[in-house]
């Protein structure tokens, strides 16, 4: 269990299995795969084709957690909004990933990487870039290099990545992404939009024997949760949330 939702306006765990070749399953194969997933999660009742051609299976918005599954040409995506339970998140992942190789004709040669991302949305009506710069980069030489008395930040979206081993096949990325436009800064009229803090745990997959996708996903999920609990919340999410609260 975790309590991430209490610290932000919306919390989401999303996962991606990236492929080297495009998916080309038949209509019957896709429907059978989606139906097998839906049997485990009956709430997934809406099937839609997006403008980019991706297929999205999700559920109506209601109170509590929401799930989705998406098929892109070279990627399988799925995720859960608002869940406070690692087992609940892993249940969807285990089902989607266990069925995918046989139903979508995947093999170890086709796998590129698998990743799990924890995203924390903080709604803020103001200059996101300025908030991030002043909260996280105050006194930092990088921000000071462009600081001017009459200057306003219009771009400050830090992205940091680290390798977790000498072969760089296991990686962690931390990103802070705002949504403020230069037009809003110029006019002083800001919409209430989410500022997103995301931590991504990624594993590149090699064709060296059978790859256990559900087990790999669970390892990434638990590792990302631990990093969020130990450092990301206290060093990034909570300071930004406090800065937003102080503006009201």
Q: What share of residues in the chain are helix, strand, coil (percent, to 5)? A: 35, 30, 35
Residues 69-122 pLDDT 10s: 999 999 999 999 999 899 999 999 999 999 999 999 999 999 999 999 999 999
Tell whether the model's pLDDT for residue 62 goes beyond 70: no
Question: What would the pLDDT profile of 158-184 be if each residue is shown by its tens digit?
Answer: 999 999 989 999 999 999 999 999 999
pLDDT classification of 64: cutoffs 50, 70, 90:
low
What pLDDT, on a 0 to 100 scale, did the predictor assign at position 190? 96
Instruction: Give the mean pLDDT of 207-226.
Output: 91
Q: What is the CATH number of the domain that holds 118?
A: 3.30.160.110
Structure token pair of residue 87: 């087992």
Distance CA 216, CA 17 (A): 11
Question: Which residues make beta-bridge pairs with 193?
Answer: 124
Q: Judge whether residue 198 has pLDDT over 90.
A: yes
Q: Tell me how far CA of residue 130 lies from CA of 10, 178, 185, in angstroms.
A: 21, 10, 10
Residue 41 pLDDT class (50, 70, 90 cuts):
very high
Alpha carbon distances (Å) from 85 to 25, 71, 82, 225, 246: 33, 24, 9, 11, 30
Task: Please identify which residue in the block is written with the tokens 């997006």.
Answer: 50
Q: What pTM value is reported for the model?
A: 0.94
Residue 60 pLDDT class (50, 70, 90 cuts): confident
Q: How far is CA 63 from the centre of its chain?
A: 20
Write out pLDDT tens, residues 129-161.
Answer: 999 999 999 888 988 888 776 778 899 999 999
Residue that has been written with the tokens 């097998």 in this structure: 36
For the chain, what is the mean pLDDT? 93
Domain count, the chain: 1
Tens digits of per-residue pLDDT, 16-26?
999 999 998 88
pLDDT band at residue 1 using 50, 70 and 90 as cut-offs:
confident
**Which residues constitute the domain of residue 83?**
4-246
Beta strand segments in 99-169, E: 111-125, 159-163
């Amino acid at each position: 269990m975790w309590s991430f939702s209490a610290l932000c306006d919306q919390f989401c765990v999303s996962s991606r299995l990236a492929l080297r070749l495009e998916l080309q399953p038949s209509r019957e194969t896709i429907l059978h795969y989606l139906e097998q997933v839906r049997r485990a999660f009956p709430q997934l009742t809406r099937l839609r084709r997006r403008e980019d051609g991706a297929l999205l299976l999700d559920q109506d918005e209601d109170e509590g957690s929401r799930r989705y599954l998406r098929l892109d040409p070279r990627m399988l995506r799925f995720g859960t909004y608002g869940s406070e339970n690692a087992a609940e998140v892993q249940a969807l992942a285990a089902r989607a990933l266990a069925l995918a190789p046989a139903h979508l004709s995947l093999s170890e040669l086709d796998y590129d990487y698998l990743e799990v991302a924890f995203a924390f949305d903080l709604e803020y009506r103001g200059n996101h870039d300025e908030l991030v710069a002043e909260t996280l980069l105050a006194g930092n030489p990088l921000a000071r290099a462009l600081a001017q008395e009459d200057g306003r930040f219009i771009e400050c979206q830090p992205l940091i990545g680290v390798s977790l081993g000498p072969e760089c096949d296991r990686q962690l990325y931390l990103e802070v992404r705002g949504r403020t436009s230069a037009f809003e800064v110029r006019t002083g009229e800001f919409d209430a939009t989410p500022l997103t803090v995301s931590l991504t745990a990624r594993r590149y997959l090699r064709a060296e024997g059978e790859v256990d996708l559900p087990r790999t996903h669970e390892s990434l999920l638990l590792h990302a949760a631990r990093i969020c609990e130990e450092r990301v919340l206290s060093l990034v999410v909570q300071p930004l949330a406090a800065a937003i609260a102080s503006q009201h």
